[in-house]
Structure 1
Amino acid sequence: MRNRLGNYQIHLDGTDVKLIELLYDNARTPIAELARAVGMTAPSVNERLKRLEENGVISGYRIEVNPVVLGYRLMAIVRMRQHPGKVKQLESLIESIAEFVECDKVTGDDCYIARLYLQDISDLDPILDPILDRVAEIADTNTAIVKSTPVKRRLLL
């Protein structure tokens, strides 16, 4: 498997791919367990992981927080198209709104797609209206509630 990183390619063999898949499923998997799963020694696995990190293939080990367990059962997606000449102002505003947990700058009809979580549909107006009032001064918006996520973020290999 070949991946493009910057101006060079990194070749991943089957062992690299298996290690990445195991860590993607559980970033806390002990080295000894990884070594058993790929039929290598722990020091060899450690070296492979170090090489994958140094080459930028593995850029970090993260936890995933389940919003539902914290009481956030709904996700809203806010699509924004800035008014002419307001792109930097809109981006600064988006960054300052703590309720936006993620935002992508995109091409196409919209310029930004942001996500925020709500505990209940009754939170939509009290939480979203003040945010949209601020954004509406410099962008047109469109909001949707996510019904389900048929494809969660996948491992890119």
Structure 2
Amino acid sequence: MELDAVDWKILSLLQQDGRMSFTALGREVSLSAPAVTERVRRLEALGVITGFTAVLAPARLGLPIESIVRVRVRSLDTPRFRAQVLVLPQVLDADHVTGDDCWLLRVVCRSMAELEELVEVMQRYGDTTTSLVFSSHVRNRPLSPELFG
């Protein structure tokens, strides 16, 4: 699919501020609000824009423990792992990956005890390796047209 420079500018602005009004977007890209609205709706229909969301700070909400858990799920246990672990509210991200580990999970917890219980649940389905996150230097980096040559 071909996106022009105006589409990319709109996408860039919305990735920075998903609450930007169509009027403000129009001012930034030199289009009327209805024209910007039409472009945004087209980008949504094409599946380029998949939603708008607020980004929260888990630690400020009482979830100071963040970790990455790699899980090597036994193949026969994969459906149960998906049904029992991926639905847990502590699991923020779950990527099914290649390599020695099958799953890469980003989780948040209120305490180390809660993390320990969570990992014990995951261990019912295979081996785990848990890494605590000290800090995150790149998170939700916006996509840019430079990636597409």
Are residues 152 and 134 of structure 1, via their aligned partners in 2, closer, same or farther at CA, if it must alter by over 3 Å? closer
Q: Which residue of 2 aligns with 1:100?
A: 91
Deviations along 1:116-135, one digit per CA (max 9) or x if unpaired, are 2134xxx21x1022222222
Question: Considering only aligned residues, what root-mean-square deviation do their CA atoms show, in Å?
Answer: 1.6
Alpha-carbon distance between aligned partners in 2 of 1:29 and 1:96, rounded to the nearest angstrom: 32
Q: Which residue of 1 aligns with 2:56?
A: 65
- How far the C-alpha of 1:137 sits from its partner, in A, is 2.4
- How far the C-alpha of 1:106 sits from its partner, in A, is 0.9
Q: Which runs of 5+ in 2 are unaligned?
A: 145-149
Q: Which residue of 2 aligns with 1:87?
A: 78
Please identify which structure carries the higher helix content: 2
Alpha-carbon distance between aligned partners in 1 of 2:43 and 2:84, rounded to the nearest angstrom: 36
Are residues 72 and 98 of structure 1, via their aligned partners in 2, closer, same or farther at CA, if it must alter by over 3 Å? closer
Q: What is the aligned-residue identity percentage?
A: 32
Q: TM-score, normalised by structure 2?
A: 0.87
1:85 match: secondary structure: helix
Q: Which residue of 2 aligns with 1:132?
A: 119
Q: Which runs of 5+ in 1 are unaligned?
A: 1-9
Alpha-carbon distance between aligned partners in 1 of 2:46 and 2:90, rounded to the nearest angstrom: 34
Are residues 38 and 108 of structure 1, via their aligned partners in 2, closer, same or farther at CA, if it must alter by over 3 Å? same
Give the paired residue count: 144
- How far the C-alpha of 1:20 sits from its partner, in A, is 0.8
